[in-house]
């Protein structure tokens, strides 16, 4: 498919169904990481705008056109959004690539996932109607109890830059399916496509205030959203330190949070893999896909010693073959990192690894043929010690570190030697061994004979310092529902007889 030339939209904040200039009228540049050029700008919300948006969301919940909708009615909006996103697929993918730097075909596949995700939550919204009120059997006849599943209220959704519109969708689609009113705060590093979602919501006639979109900086727009007393919940995906700040602020108001934070996931490769090339490709995909800028990247290769030399030789041959280029080029497989800050951070990780005694087996620098843009070669690091930063900390870049093992016990210990617990992968023909690893991995996700494929039906999330709560699937819908117990006394002719009745004195 030809990649379209597009116009860069200029938007305001999306509040109460309308485009609205930020109270302080500030804007932030939108930077193309492939060229380092400013290609547009986004509005910068502050606490004043947060307050206006929260009030609009609260009004939406109080109005029949949103607050009294059935799941089936909400499903219509979600399907209409999906259809509009699909209609604009080439353009949205191009905007995503320009803003984020991911290869166009990856961006386009993200847009396909966005469409599928809105459709999936439309189905779940419909299904919710029959589960809205469910009876709970009691041991007494004098009472009847049922449980209501109702929208949790006004929810704040704070998202990162690595999958801009897709991470937005992972939160917005279930929140709207559940009937919440939402305030989305996308990352200031890539907000353009999330703002376009505002235009799509306007076009499909989503009731005003059901979704509000506030772009801006974390401390100026995100932080007041978290501390706003009239926001009932925060769902966050991003870095560990910001997750800690959000949880701390939310705790002051006993506000529930779900946190999807970082990772340093292992991929354990045994010598009984089905096929060397297939295993090598999954290993590369596990770490270099999305430029390693994915929380679940399997960035620690734990490799059985017996096949290490041949596996690494082949891995380098495959790595050299990865096309690094402008992400708008059709067969690009590795574009630039998101920002100068991320580029410098990743190079620093590589130089610290070198200083700590590791070997940069491949890469480690910017590709020579690209002198502009935040590009870094896919990098493979060996001679890694478990005390090194490169083994312990999330890089969020195309950097794979390698350690070998002899026994299964050693492999499990290395795999779990991390404060994080998001993903874990094992490549082996022995399915009983895969089963043992599935149990042993301290993670929320396990991949067997693959790494990274992500579908919208199963749950997604981690344990340990990767956070808690689950997104996607039916689990995500639960994040946005209040479970209300309703108990009715049905023996209304019978006194309760706990106190002495004065009429009987």
Ligand X SMILES: NC(=O)C1=CN([C@@H]2O[C@H](COP(=O)(O)OP(=O)(O)OC[C@H]3O[C@@H](n4cnc5c(N)ncnc54)[C@H](O)[C@@H]3O)[C@@H](O)[C@H]2O)C=CC1
Residues with a catalytic annotation lie at 260
Nearer to Na ion, 31 or 92 (CB): 31
Identify whether the C-beta of residue 173 lies closer than 8 Å to the C-beta of residue 24.
no
Nearer to Na ion, 190 or 295 (CB): 190
* Residue 279 beta carbon to ligand BAL: minimum distance, rounded to whole angstroms: 23
Nearer to Na ion, 99 or 471 (CB): 99
- CA–CA gap between residue 469 and residue 10 (Å, rounded): 35
Q: Which of 97, 162, 290, 452 binds ligand X (CB under 6 A)?
A: 162
Q: How many CB atoms lie within 10 A of CB 335?
A: 28
Binding of residue 160 to ligand X (CB under 6 A): yes
227 binds, among ligand X, ligand BAL, Na ion, none (CB under 5 to 8 A by kind): none
Spatial neighbors of 471 by CB under 8 A, at least 6 apart, are 170, 171, 174, 235, 237, 258, 260, 459, 460, 461, 479
Among 10-18, 32-40, 157-165, 184-192, which window interacts with ligand BAL (CB under 6 A)?
157-165
Among 99-107, 117-125, 152-160, 202-210, which window interacts with Na ion (CB under 5 A)?
99-107
Which two structure tokens, joined as six digits, stand for 474? Answer: 């039916």
- CA–CA gap between residue 455 and residue 403 (Å, rounded): 29
* Residue 171 beta carbon to ligand BAL: minimum distance, rounded to whole angstroms: 11
99 binds, among Na ion, ligand X, ligand BAL, none (CB under 5 to 8 A by kind): Na ion
**Nearest to residue 178, comparing CAs of 47, 41, 61?**
61
* Residue 92 beta carbon to ligand X: minimum distance, rounded to whole angstroms: 19
Binding of residue 163 to ligand BAL (CB under 6 A): yes
* Residue 117 beta carbon to ligand BAL: minimum distance, rounded to whole angstroms: 11
Determine the size of the site formed for Na ion (CB under 5 A).
Answer: 3
Nearer to ligand BAL, 192 or 294 (CB): 294
Q: Which of 454, 459, 474, 478 binds ligand BAL (CB under 6 A)?
A: 454
Q: Which of 32, 69, 100, 237 binds ligand BAL (CB under 6 A)?
A: 237
Q: State the binding string over 219-258 for ligand X (x if CB under 6 A, else -).
A: x--xx--x----------xxx--x--xx------------
Is 349 strand, coil or helix?
helix
- CA–CA gap between residue 8 and residue 189 (Å, rounded): 16
Identify whether the C-beta of residue 17 lies closer than 8 Å to the C-beta of residue 202.
yes
- CA–CA gap between residue 121 and residue 204 (Å, rounded): 17
Nearer to Na ion, 28 or 446 (CB): 28
**Nearest to residue 233, comparing CAs of 327, 315, 151, 149?**
151
* Residue 420 beta carbon to ligand X: minimum distance, rounded to whole angstroms: 10
Binding of residue 185 to ligand X (CB under 6 A): yes
- CA–CA gap between residue 212 and residue 336 (Å, rounded): 30
- CA–CA gap between residue 492 and residue 229 (Å, rounded): 39
Please report where in the chains the tokens 């690893």 appear, as a residue.
437
- CA–CA gap between residue 207 and residue 198 (Å, rounded): 12
* Residue 391 beta carbon to ligand X: minimum distance, rounded to whole angstroms: 16
- CA–CA gap between residue 379 and residue 399 (Å, rounded): 5
Whole-angstrom Cα Rg for the chain:
25
Is 381 strand, coil or helix?
strand
Residues between 253 and 282 with contacts to ligand X, criterion CB under 6 A: 261-262
Binding of residue 418 to ligand X (CB under 6 A): no
The answer for 16, left when phi > 0, alpha when psi is -120 to 50, beta otherwise, is left
Binding of residue 294 to ligand BAL (CB under 6 A): yes
Q: What sign has the CA pseudo-torsion 272, 273, 277, 282? A: negative
* Residue 93 beta carbon to Na ion: minimum distance, rounded to whole angstroms: 15
Q: Which of 13, 31, 177, 334 binds Na ion (CB under 5 A)?
A: 31
Binding of residue 192 to Na ion (CB under 5 A): no
Nearer to ligand BAL, 224 or 292 (CB): 292
Identify whether the C-beta of residue 397 lies closer than 8 Å to the C-beta of residue 288.
no
**Nearest to residue 471, comparing CAs of 459, 455, 463?**
459
465 binds, among ligand BAL, Na ion, ligand X, none (CB under 5 to 8 A by kind): none
Which two structure tokens, joined as six digits, stand for 273? Answer: 């893999």
Determine the size of the site formed for ligand BAL (CB under 6 A).
Answer: 9
Give the interface with ligand X as residue ranges (CB under 6 A).
158-162, 185-189, 217-219, 222-223, 226, 237-239, 242, 245-246, 261-262, 295, 342, 345, 394, 396
Give the interface with Na ion as residue ranges (CB under 5 A).
31, 99, 190
Give the interface with ligand BAL as residue ranges (CB under 6 A).
160, 162-163, 167, 237, 260, 294-295, 454
């Amino acid at each position: 498919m030809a990649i379209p030339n597009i116009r860069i939209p200029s938007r305001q904040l999306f509040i109460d169904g309308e485009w609205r200039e930020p109270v302080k009228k500030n804007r932030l540049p939108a930077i193309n990481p492939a060229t380092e050029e400013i290609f547009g700008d986004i509005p910068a919300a502050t606490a004043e705008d947060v307050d206006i948006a929260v009030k609009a969301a609260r009004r939406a919940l109080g109005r029949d056109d949103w607050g009294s909708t059935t799941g089936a009615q909400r499903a219509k909006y979600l399907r209409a959004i999906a259809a509009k996103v699909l209609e604009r697929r080439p353009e949205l993918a191009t905007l995503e690539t320009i803003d984020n730097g991911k290869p166009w075909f990856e961006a386009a596949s993200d847009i396909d996932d966005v469409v599928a995700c809105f459709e999936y939550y439309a189905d779940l919204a419909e299904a919710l109607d029959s589960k809205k009120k469910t009876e709970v059997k009691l041991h007494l006849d004098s009472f009847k109890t049922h449980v209501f599943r109702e929208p949790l209220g006004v929810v704040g959704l704070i998202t990162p830059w690595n999958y801009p519109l897709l991470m937005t969708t992972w939160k917005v689609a279930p929140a709207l399916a559940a009937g919440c009113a939402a305030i989305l705060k996308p990352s200031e590093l890539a907000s353009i496509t999330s703002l376009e979602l505002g235009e799509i919501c306007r076009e499909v006639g989503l009731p005003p205030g059901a979704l509000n979109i506030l772009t801006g900086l974390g401390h100026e727009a995100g932080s007041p959203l978290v501390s706003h007393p009239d926001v009932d919940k925060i769902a966050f995906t991003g870095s560990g330190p910001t997750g800690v700040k959000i949880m701390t602020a939310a705790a002051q108001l006993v506000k529930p949070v779900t946190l999807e934070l970082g990772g340093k996931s292992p991929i354990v490769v045994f010598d009984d893999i089905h096929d060397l090339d297939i295993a090598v490709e999954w290993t590369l995909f596990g770490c270099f896909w999305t430029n390693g800028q994915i929380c679940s990247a399997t960035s620690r290769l734990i490799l059985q010693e017996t096949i290490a030399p041949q596996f690494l030789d082949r891995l380098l041959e495959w790595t050299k073959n990865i096309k690094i280029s402008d992400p708008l080029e059709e067969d690009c497989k590795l574009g630039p990192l998101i920002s100068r800050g991320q580029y410098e951070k990743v190079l620093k990780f590589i130089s610290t690894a070198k200083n700590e005694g590791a070997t940069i087996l491949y890469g480690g620098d910017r590709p020579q043929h690209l002198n502009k843009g935040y590009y870094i070669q896919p990098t493979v690091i060996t001679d890694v010690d478990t005390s090194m930063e490169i083994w312990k900390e999330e890089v969020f870049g195309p950097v794979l570190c390698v350690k070998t093992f002899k026994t299964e016990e050693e492999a499990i210990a290395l795999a779990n030697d991390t404060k994080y617990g998001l993903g874990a992968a094992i490549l082996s023909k022995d399915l009983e061994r895969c089963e043992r690893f599935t149990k042993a991995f301290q993670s929320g996700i396990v991949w067997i004979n693959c790494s990274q494929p992500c579908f919208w039906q199963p749950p997604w999330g981690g344990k340990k310092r990767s956070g808690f709560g689950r997104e996607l699937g039916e689990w995500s819908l639960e994040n946005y529902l209040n479970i209300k117990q309703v108990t009715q006394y049905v023996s209304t002719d019978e006194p309760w007889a706990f106190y002495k009745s004065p009429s009987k004195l």
